[in-house]
Structure 1
Amino acid sequence: MIVVGNGYGVYSQEQNGNHAIRNVVLVHGAFLDGSGWEGVYQELTQRGYNVTVTQHTLRDFDDDVAVVEKVISQQDGPCILVGHSYGGVVISAAGNHPNVAGLVYIAAHAPDAGELRADLVKKYPSAYKSLIKGDDGFDIVNPAKFAEDFAADLPIERATFMANAQVPTADKVFRAVIQKPAWKYKPTWYMVAGADRIINPDLERFYAGRAKSKKVVEIKGGSHAIYASRPKDVAALIIEAAAHAGKKD
């Protein structure tokens, strides 16, 4: 049994010592790179997991999926594929790879086949107003508003650093459409960020329910940067996925 939600993930001995799946691939979202996963990486590697963090460019959706598929192919056995934010769209496509045993969505999009996220956002509006769309087709989050909108539960110094270390993201990736969402065919776990301003928490709950996620964890007060701000809770959910993916109900 895992207790999560308070920032102090609890891991059972069974999960620590006898996990069936040892490989984890972490996929970052828009505007940032994989460094935000460092806390989760440390939590997992200290418990014997083999963890790989992807570094896709955020310039083209198909290219991002190809990078993640390459990393998945390099695993020496089945893996748990984890995505944050836009990374959820990437893992929904790349998760069809045969090495993927389960999917974990961390405050992430999980679109259906042919579904436009813009339509979902109209139904579940986001709270933030800080997106800056460049004339060159690349977007960023206004650094002056980044801490408030993206990372309110991180120390201000770290949030400010993240704001000023952004990776401009091609606007076209937000319009990418997938054809075969892996969450329809493979088990999923979902973490809802209860105070998310980038993705409406109600949309996150919708995604989790539609995917019939085996466990949904909601972090009260969690910002969109929950993958960085709550590494123990995130790691606990991934460990649960690693322990149970592939098992028959």
Structure 2
Amino acid sequence: MMTRRNFATALVAGAAASLISARGMAASEPTSSPAIPAPLKARNVVLAHGLFADGSCWTEVIARLQDKGLKCTAVQNPLTTLPEAVAAAQRVLDRQDGLTVLVGHSFSGMIVTEAGVHPKVSSLVYVAARAPDAGEDYTALAKTYPTPPASAGIVFDGDEGRLTEEAFLRDFAGDLPEAKAKVLYAVQEPFHKALLIGKTTQAAWRSKPSWYAVSTEDRTINPDLERFMAKRMGAKTIEVKASHLSLISHPDTIARLILEAAGH
């Protein structure tokens, strides 16, 4: 299997002029300092959303990345099955012109892990996201840590699941102003039960440079589980004092992390 070092070497051979050094994060300190290759300069960013959301959750981050000259596209995750979610991301990646950073929040870390092997993807960014290994049962992995409070707030209407308003405001968007959190709740996209049983068949983080933003106040994914996954993948890791929605409550910090992964 290709290592991260071999992957970086292969890309450098074809794009040496784009190579720049990774820079430190001013707003957050890394929890570890893995020896990862310096990122190649990417011109594109593709962002995938998770459960209880849609592509608009990336609006604040996208505005900051566009201000730096990056081309951004938010994937509209169908939230039906993992293969269909991955296919939606792959179609967006196919349309990119040049090297691309693939970013995922929450459940869409599954998408990043699977679709990140796409040849246009130069680096991966996980934001409070799932990061399973190939074939791993993420649900079983998550059960080895204390159950996060948001899990108790999921309700189903037939095959469609969603968060109750109380759980959404308290456990999903806990550090956002209530009025803003209620707007996000109003556009919550239900997910299908079939989505939760999917398993990744490959782990892109085993061959591509990765970055991870841990949300220290997360009540949707256990923060210690996030730390475990970030350490296992050897990701450049930052910790953000935020709820599960750090991409909305701390868009500057998340945008800087993506910019670093893009070699800017």
Give unpaired runs (5+ residues) of structure 2.
Answer: 1-23, 30-39
Q: 2:258 aligns with which of 223, 238, 243?
A: 238
Cα-to-partner distance string for 1:183-235 (whole Å, 9 max, x where unaligned): 1111100000000001000000001000001x100012x10011111110000
Partner in structure 1 of residue 153 of structure 2: 131
Q: Hey, what's the Cα distance between the residues in 2 that align with 1:57 and 1:229?
A: 24
Partner in structure 2 of residue 100 of structure 1: 121
Q: Hey, what's the Cα distance between the residues in 2 that align with 1:126 and 1:35?
A: 28
After TM superposition, list the pairs within 5 Å mapping 1:1-249 onto structure 2: 1-5=24-28, 20-128=41-149, 129-213=151-235, 215-220=236-241, 222-243=242-263
Partner in structure 2 of residue 247 of structure 1: none
Give the letter aligned to residue 245 of structure 2.
A
Q: CA deviation at 1:127?
A: 2.3
Q: Hey, what's the Cα distance between the residues in 2 that align with 1:210 and 1:216?
A: 11
Q: Hey, what's the Cα distance between the residues in 2 that align with 1:26 and 1:83?
A: 6
**Secondary structure of the equivalent of 1:123?**
coil
Say whether the 8 Å CA contact 2:82–2:199 is kept in structure 1.
no
Say whether the 8 Å CA contact 1:130–1:142 is kept in structure 2.
no
Say whether the 8 Å CA contact 2:155–2:164 is kept in structure 1.
no
Q: Hey, what's the Cα distance between the residues in 2 that align with 1:20 and 1:132?
A: 40
TM-score by length of 2: 0.84
**Secondary structure of the equivalent of 1:38?**
helix
Q: Hey, what's the Cα distance between the residues in 2 that align with 1:3 and 1:126?
A: 32
When structure 1 is superposed on structure 2, of 222-231 and 134-143 the one drifting more is 134-143
TM-score by length of 1: 0.89
Number of aligned residue pairs: give it: 230
Fraction of identical pairs, as percent? 41
Give unpaired runs (5+ residues) of structure 1.
Answer: 7-18, 245-249
Say whether the 8 Å CA contact 1:130–1:146 is kept in structure 2.
no
Give the letter aligned to residue 186 of structure 2.
N
Q: Hey, what's the Cα distance between the residues in 1 that align with 2:161 and 2:253?
A: 30
Give the letter aligned to residue 101 of structure 2.
I
Q: CA deviation at 1:135?
A: 4.6
Q: Hey, what's the Cα distance between the residues in 2 that align with 1:34 and 1:203?
A: 25
Partner in structure 1 of residue 11 of structure 2: none
Q: CA deviation at 1:21?
A: 1.1
Q: Hey, what's the Cα distance between the residues in 2 that align with 1:131 and 1:184?
A: 33
Say whether the 8 Å CA contact 2:45–2:100 is kept in structure 1.
yes
Cα-to-partner distance string for 1:4-32 (whole Å, 9 max, x where unaligned): 239xxxxxxxxxxxx82111001101111
**Secondary structure of the equivalent of 1:41?**
helix
**Secondary structure of the equivalent of 1:26?**
strand
Say whether the 8 Å CA contact 1:22–1:79 is kept in structure 2.
yes
